[in-house]
A = this chain, B = another copy of it.
Amino acid sequence: MDGFFSRLSQEQKNKKSYLCVGLDPHLDRLPGQWKGDAAGVVPFLKEIIDQTQEFACCYKPQIAYFAAYGLEQQLAQVISYLKAQYPSCPVILDAKRNDIGATAEMYAQEAFKRYQADAITVNPYMGGDTVEPYTRFTDKGVFVLCRTSNDGAKELQNLTVGDGQPLYSFVAERALKGWNKNKNVGLVVGATAIKELRKIRDRFPEAWFLVPGVGAQGGDLKAVIEYGRRVDGEGGLIINSSRGILYAGDGDDFGTKAREEAARLQAEMAPSF
């Protein structure tokens, strides 16, 4: 099987899209009759997926939204549905896991074996030996948090470290050089950190970035495309929108509203392919 990034790149070219649809089902925001009802999660997300799949190169379920409500079975159902209906469209499990090696192996099993995810997000704070249990799955993708999209991200990530670069930049270097022997490591870089995104792209012209923070968090889509994509046309960029698509409508029209929003985002991306 081709590596994760090869498969993703093919899907991006086919759809002329960097769009990742984030699946963050907040029960209180489910539309219409499903509001507050856990039984609405699977039909809601299936409809979102069906409506957006023409425009999305991948999907990213956020495990916290399922775990908070005890909806592990529903998460498994949603991923199974994606794999059955749209097998060329990868699934990134947004879990931001990290722990010592023996425990990281358990988290890797959770993501890659239990849920059959194609990729996972992980946290770098504990060091490269805690990332290796994921990267050893050579056909899976591993996105290391580098510069996140939240307001407080700078507090640690923009600290200047020993050799004079910011911590996020040190992490980018370690992740893409030191931890990447299986060529399956990418970075998470927030759309709200365009300056940092641009610097990392300049240093690592072939790297893959998963970019959250457009839409509800206010990131600038045009700037992300301009500064985030690989200049060789091989993609290198995944732009996530969660709330902006999921909750584009809050009534019976939620599916068509989600479709319209996904189409709008993809239309902004298509010219760069």
Partner of A150, one of B70, B94, B97, B130: B130
> Interface residue tally of chain A, by bracket?
35 or more
Complex Cα gap A124–B125 (Å): 8
A76 nearest in chain B by CB position: B70
A130: chain B residues at CB < 8 Å are 150, 152
Sample (27) of A-B pairs whose CB atoms are under 8 Å apart: A26-B106, A62-B103, A64-B107, A65-B103, A67-B110, A68-B109, A68-B114, A69-B109, A70-B72, A72-B72, A96-B123, A98-B123, A100-B217, A101-B150, A125-B125, A125-B145, A126-B148, A126-B150, A126-B153, A127-B153, A127-B154, A127-B155, A127-B156, A130-B150, A156-B167, A159-B162, A161-B167
Contact with B along A63-100 (1 / 0, CB 8 A): 01101111010000000000000000000001011111
The reply on A182 being an interface residue by CB < 8 A is: no
Complex Cα gap A94–B110 (Å): 16
A174 nearest in chain B by CB position: B155
The reply on A241 being an interface residue by CB < 8 A is: no
Interface residues of A in 109-166 (CB under 8 A from B): 109-110, 113-114, 123-130, 145, 148-157, 159-162
B123 touches A125 (CB 8 A): yes
Number of copies of this chain that the complex holds = 2
Contact with B along A47-70 (1 / 0, CB 8 A): 000000000000000101101111
A151: chain B residues at CB < 8 Å are 127, 129
Complex Cα gap A87–B167 (Å): 43
A64: chain B residues at CB < 8 Å are 97, 99, 103-104, 106-107, 110
A100: chain B residues at CB < 8 Å are 148-150, 217
A99 nearest in chain B by CB position: B96
The reply on A206 being an interface residue by CB < 8 A is: no
The reply on A24 being an interface residue by CB < 8 A is: yes
The reply on A170 being an interface residue by CB < 8 A is: yes
The reply on A214 being an interface residue by CB < 8 A is: no
Q: Beyond the given A64-B99, A101-B150, A126-B148, please list 20 additional residue pairs across the A-B interface where CB-CB is below 8 A.
A: A26-B106, A62-B103, A64-B107, A65-B103, A68-B110, A68-B114, A72-B72, A96-B97, A96-B99, A96-B123, A123-B125, A124-B156, A125-B148, A125-B156, A126-B150, A126-B156, A127-B151, A130-B152, A159-B162, A167-B167
